[in-house]
Structure 1
Amino acid sequence: MESSSPAGGVNPAGRDKDLYAAVQDIRAGYWMQMRQVLARTGTWPQWTSRTQVLGVVAAQANVVELWLKEEPESLAARVMYARVATERVLQAHRRDWARDYRKAQDLDKLMARARDACDQASDGNPDDAVPWICRLALAEADSAGRYPEHHLTPPPHEYLLPAGPWGLLSEVHRRDPFNREAWHRMSQALQARPGPAGRQAVATDFARWTVSFAPPDSPLLLLPLYARVQEHRERRDNGGAVMLNLLWTREDTTRAITQAFEGWFRKRDPDTTSQLDLNYLAYALARGGFAAWAAEVFAAIGDFATPAPWLYDARYPEDQWRKAFEEDRVACRRSQPRQTGGHHP
């Protein structure tokens, strides 16, 4: 997911120039550009993606708190505080604060603060899915299952899926059907408490279930590729690097790759396209032997490579992920026939 802090040298705003200006403003300690770019945001998908990126960046400072102090009735400021508070919980959780008694108490306080921020963001803003996405994201950090809404039974007849925050996903879906971030958050929440099936099986089953009824041009068609990259990473870490290429040529994998490229990439909206999705698709295409299609996706990525999934590649250490990216990009470009100039009779 894109909620973790961006690596150095990586632009989290991608091609969104207005968002980039707001990110730079936040890093300088100001909030006016953030306020302005959110006021000019016209669609729910763009609202979701922009608040997510801004939340990751602003979680490192007190910029949103300053905005909220100046404009306590601002709905945008409340939503951004929910984003920031949630991101701080997730970052603490991923640093294993729960395993340290003293830090576990701090994590509990952060969780309570984030849940309250989500409630405040929802007040007077019932149509906004983002506060519900934040609630859904918090389920990942509820390792002990203390909150009942985080372990509800799955939809009827879905026996392969574990209990999880299904009600929260439903609330998001009611406001913004097939919201990209929400379904990724749900996958992460289910994997946090996968039961006897294990993380990989849960990720794969949830992705397969989602794709079975997602719109034919939805970015959710990439969920199976995220699951496959995770399996690739686990095999690499467990010493199975020799068999990694076979993973990408399996029939179910190549079918998922084709569906994602033809269904989503061909019809995507460049203004709301996730750079992370493009990078995952390029990685899968290159691994699966779809060099011509991969070259198209690399062209769409341009200068906006993301560390994941390239840092999970077995060819280079994780801090040299750009080498894996460039190696695949060059190889796929070279596979294309050269365009020759001149006149033809």
Structure 2
Amino acid sequence: MTPPPPPFGFSRSRDDLRFDPALDDEPLADARAALAQGRWTAARSLLAETGDDWDRRGHRLVVLGEGGASATWAREWQLAEPGSSDAAALLAAATVFRVVAGKEKPERAREACLAAAALTPADPTPWLCLLILARHTGSDDEQIRAFDQVRGRHRSHHHGHHLMTACLAERPQAAADGGAFHEVYEFVDWAAGEAPAGSPLAVLPVVAHAELYRVQATAGTLPADPAASGHWDGWRARQALKRGFDWWLEFDGDEHDHPRLHLDLNFLVHAQFLHGRTAEAAALFNRIGGHATRIPWAYPDRDPKKAFRAAREAVLGPGSP
């Protein structure tokens, strides 16, 4: 007997699920692989082609900078081309991630970021790197200053707004009502409202809700099982989901070429699933395909692959990949 086709036209391939920070940027994945082998010319070509698409440039430099040997090869690139602003930006990103890994002093990363910023004053990416650094080692004021520099260069900078949302969610809880009026919500409502029409920053309220859950569940004030937390049942979740899904319905299509789109879709489907909106979740799972992201599926301390697969199977039916 021939088995029935998978629901919603979903592929049954067992090899489709990836947790790659490069997302669907295949040239970036190729350049990262080349850089890991010391062939920095591929990164040079990629960044030259990226130009002043600031969201894409930031995404690509962050992914390239996360490689364990990236700082070494960025220095080699600088020796060959001392005036290269792209080499300086890569070194800045790589040095920041060495600090995050406990292999470098924060001051070295700060110097590298400021040196890169001096070479390309219009580029928000060195300041994005400083924001990543400030989230891990800096004060609240340092986070705000770095974010202001990012936003001053690109008002709808995607990664910058996501990082600031996480930073604010991690600040001490002032409200006694489960966080419904936490300052992070004020920030994302303002940022989403200020963003241009069609901007994926419309999903920021969903991101804030997930980030605040992570912080509260880690602290033990909410259950570690997000489905049992009730966090996605209230008015705040409903409001955020409506805003995010309305953006998706209105602007889905060829114009959706944002380099970090799949991260937004993962936040959105994660929330739709936990809120019990199966039809919306099915459409989003179908659109995501294998481009899963660690966050928010890992929140607060779960295996993201198992969490993603379990949610997708619950929505698309038994036997879905």
Q: Same fold (TM over 0.5)?
A: yes
Q: Which residue of structure 2 lines up, in the alignment, with residue 4 of structure 1?
A: none
Q: CA RMSD in A?
A: 3.0
Q: Which residue of structure 2 lines up, in the alignment, with residue 273 of structure 1?
A: 260
Q: 1:115 aligns with which of 86, 99, 110?
A: 110
Q: Which residue of structure 1 lines up, in the alignment, with residue 174 of structure 2?
A: 197
Q: Which residue of structure 2 lines up, in the alignment, with residue 286 of structure 1?
A: 273
Superposed, which structure 2 residues align to 1:174-213 within 5 Å? 174-191=152-169, 194=171, 197=174, 201-213=182-194
Opposite residue 62 of structure 1, the aligned amino acid is T
Aligned mates of 2:109, 2:63 — CA distance in 1: 17
Superposed, which structure 2 residues align to 1:1-345 within 5 Å? 10-42=19-51, 43-57=53-67, 62-92=72-102, 110-143=105-138, 145=139, 151=141, 165-191=143-169, 194=171, 197=174, 201-234=182-215, 236-237=217-218, 238=220, 240=223, 241=225, 244=228, 246-264=230-248, 266-267=250-251, 269-312=256-299, 318-319=302-303, 321-334=304-317
1:317-340, Cα deviation, whole Å (9 max, x unpaired): 723x322212222332349xxxxx
Aligned-pair distance for 1:271? 4.6
Aligned mates of 2:226, 2:311 — CA distance in 1: 18
Q: What percent identity do the matched residue pairs reach?
A: 30
CA contact (8 A) 1:56 1:87 kept: yes
**Structure 2 counterpart SS, 1:69:** helix
Q: 1:125 to 1:242 in 2, by over 3 A?
A: closer
Q: 1:73 to 1:265 in 2, by over 3 A?
A: farther
Aligned mates of 2:204, 2:191 — CA distance in 1: 8
Opposite residue 132 of structure 1, the aligned amino acid is W
Aligned mates of 1:196, 1:296 — CA distance in 2: 35
1:238-283, Cα deviation, whole Å (9 max, x unpaired): 2634873532121221121121122146426235233322211110
Opposite residue 325 of structure 1, the aligned amino acid is F
Q: 1:188 to 1:229 in 2, by over 3 A?
A: closer
Aligned-pair distance for 1:181? 1.2
TM-score by length of 1: 0.74
Moved more, 215-224 or 194-203: 194-203
**Structure 2 counterpart SS, 1:126:** coil
Structure 2 gaps, min length 5: 1-16
Opposite residue 197 of structure 1, the aligned amino acid is A
Q: 1:326 to 1:142 in 2, by over 3 A?
A: closer
CA contact (8 A) 2:210 2:296 kept: yes
Aligned mates of 2:70, 2:202 — CA distance in 1: 32
Moved more, 269-278 or 32-41: 269-278
CA contact (8 A) 1:137 1:185 kept: yes
CA contact (8 A) 1:285 1:294 kept: yes
Aligned mates of 1:54, 1:292 — CA distance in 2: 36
